[in-house]
Amino acid sequence: MPTRSLTDWLSYIESQHPSEIELGLERGLTVLSKLNLGRPKQKVITVAGTNGKGSTCAMLTQYLVASGFKVGTYTSPHFLRFNERVALDGQECSDELLCQAFEKIEKVRGDTPLTYFEFSTLAALWVFDQLELDYWVLEVGLGGRLDSVNMVDTDLAVVTSIALDHVDWLGDSIEIIGREKSGIGRKGKPFVSGVVNPPESIAVTAAELGARLTQKHVDFSFTLDGDGWRWWTDNVSFENLPIPKLPLENAATVIEVLRVLQVDLDQDKLTDLFANATLLGRFQKVANEPDLYIDVAHNPEAATQLKQQVEHLGQPVIAVCGMLKDKDIAAVMATLADSFESWKLIGLHGPRGATAEELKGYLNQAETFVSLTDAVSSAVEEAKVKGAAIVVFGSFLTVSEYLANQ
């Protein structure tokens, strides 16, 4: 077989299965068994949830690395480079290692068809196995129970949040979705739920699996306290923590995960983590004069979080928005309609992309643009006049396009 570049491999794996998404573990487990992979020296941590998976994985990784551990982190999707999905101590994996992983998977899979995500997950696991890491932090792609990340028996399951999203795949009720996402738990292993107002299905599923469940506001709690925040359990507490750049709800969950892992919890390291941890595309400031933020918020729960972040800016804010039409556009727009000084709308390419006119139908007043570049240019001119900030949001695709144009 001639040597393939990473670009060649990605084109190849995209063509190997007729469906972009096909939930199920059988295909992946068949190939995983042939790879004969080991496990990390310490633990596998698997993170599911409607929102907050990425920031939770990022904060866990950064704390563990700061504590001297070697950590492999698998996340999705990526913005600009596939390598973003497979990180080693927070740094992107090399093309060389990824190509070696794909070559190995292709050699052993035989006639087993794999989706793009299954190929990606197996590649990440192969890379992590080669490097004798202490921890693997694995972000679920879609759902949990039938997601290919769940091929690996986790040592600690985390569910960050539950909301209606991907209903065609996961079900049309919070209870059903809660059961699907909780399917990552394992018998006798800890299960941390950071879900606010959790559906009963989380506790029911954890009990059925025999997992040891701890829940936010039951087993651990947090509250804002002046200019900082406080976190506590019955026998552990931390005071005067800095308000994190990433969502506070997820920061609180991260402390509980670290406590359950029995990793040394240090006030100074937690302070440093929350003062500095950021994640690409999560209310991230990327420009000044005018201030411009990017955010991947694309469902009602994330829109509520974005609304709060916009309010905290304390200045007029202009929205530049593009969304996929299979998202709950109506609820996102209803949540954010009054948060922005004005709206600049764009259409997204591809069969799933909503047009700018479709988005406009949910707002009383908005401008439409042919391209993101035009929309941002208009927003910048208006922001200079009004002393406003700008938020580009609505989809990973919207944020990716913005970053690609910089």
pLDDT in tens, 268-309: 999 999 999 989 999 999 999 999 999 999 999 899 999 999
Do 303 and 297 meet the contact criterion of CB atoms below 8 Å apart? yes
Using the structure block, give the residue that is written with the tokens 């200079």. Answer: 384
Task: Mark out the alpha helices in 210-344 (DSSP H runs).
Answer: 248-261, 267-276, 300-313, 329-336
Nearest-angstrom CA–CA distance, 198 and 201: 8
Average pLDDT, rounded, for the chain:
93
Per-residue confidence (pLDDT) for residue 200, from 0 to 100: 94
Instruction: Return the SS3 of 225.
Output: strand
Q: In which band, very low, low, confident or very high, does the pLDDT at 172 lie, cut at 50, 70 and 90?
A: low
Per-residue confidence (pLDDT) for residue 245, from 0 to 100: 87
Regarding predicted confidence, which is higher, 172 or 38? Answer: 38
Name the least confident of 37-46, 161-170, 229-238, 240-249: 161-170
Q: Averaged over 235-254, what is the pLDDT?
A: 95
Per-residue confidence (pLDDT) for residue 137, from 0 to 100: 98
| Percent of all residues in the chain with a pLDDT value above 90, rounded to a whole number | 84
Say yes or no to pLDDT of 21 above 80.
no
Say yes or no to pLDDT of 135 above 60.
yes
Count of positions (residues) in the chain: 406
Q: In which band, very low, low, confident or very high, does the pLDDT at 355 lie, cut at 50, 70 and 90?
A: very high
Nearest-angstrom CA–CA distance, 177 and 89: 31
Q: Averaged over 324-347, what is the pLDDT?
A: 95
Longest Cα separation, the chain: 63
Domains of the chain: 6-276 (3.40.1190.10), 284-404 (3.90.190.20)
Regarding predicted confidence, which is higher, 24 or 153? Answer: 153
Q: Averaged over 59-83, what is the pLDDT?
A: 97
Say yes or no to pLDDT of 169 above 50.
no
Say yes or no to pLDDT of 38 above 90.
yes
Per-residue confidence (pLDDT) for residue 396, from 0 to 100: 93
The sign one gets for the Cα dihedral 343, 346, 351, 352 is negative
Nearest C-alpha neighbor of 400 from the set 357, 349, 356, 351: 349
Regarding predicted confidence, which is higher, 361 or 23? Answer: 361
Task: Mark out the alpha helices in 233-314 (DSSP H runs).
Answer: 248-261, 267-276, 300-313
Q: What is the dihedral of CA 333, 335, 336, 338, to 10 degrees?
A: 110
The alpha-carbon radius of gyration of the chain (Å, integer) is: 21
Q: In which band, very low, low, confident or very high, does the pLDDT at 24 lie, cut at 50, 70 and 90?
A: confident
Name the least confident of 62-76, 159-173, 239-253: 159-173
Question: Could you tell me the strand order of the sheet in which 342-346 lies?
Answer: 284-287, 292-295, 389-393, 317-321, 342-346, 367-369
Nearest-angstrom CA–CA distance, 374 and 385: 17
Per-residue confidence (pLDDT) for residue 159, from 0 to 100: 97
Say yes or no to pLDDT of 23 above 90.
no
Per-residue confidence (pLDDT) for residue 20, from 0 to 100: 61
What lies within 8 Å, CB to CB, of 312 at 6+ separation is none
Using the structure block, give the residue that is written with the tokens 């059903």. Answer: 176
Per-residue confidence (pLDDT) for residue 370, from 0 to 100: 96
Q: Averaged over 52-59, what is the pLDDT?
A: 96
* Pairing mode of beta strands 284-287, 292-295: antiparallel
Q: In which band, very low, low, confident or very high, does the pLDDT at 342 lie, cut at 50, 70 and 90?
A: very high
Start-to-end CA span in the chain (Å): 37
Q: Averaged over 227-234, what is the pLDDT?
A: 95
Per-residue confidence (pLDDT) for residue 168, from 0 to 100: 53
Rounded to 5 degrees, what are φ and ψ at 345?
Answer: -110, 140
Q: Averaged over 304-318, what is the pLDDT?
A: 93
Q: How many helices (H) and strands (E) does the chain have?
A: 15, 17
As a three-state string, the secondary structure of 138-164 is EECCCCCCCCHHHHCCCCEEEECCCCC
Say yes or no to pLDDT of 22 above 90.
no
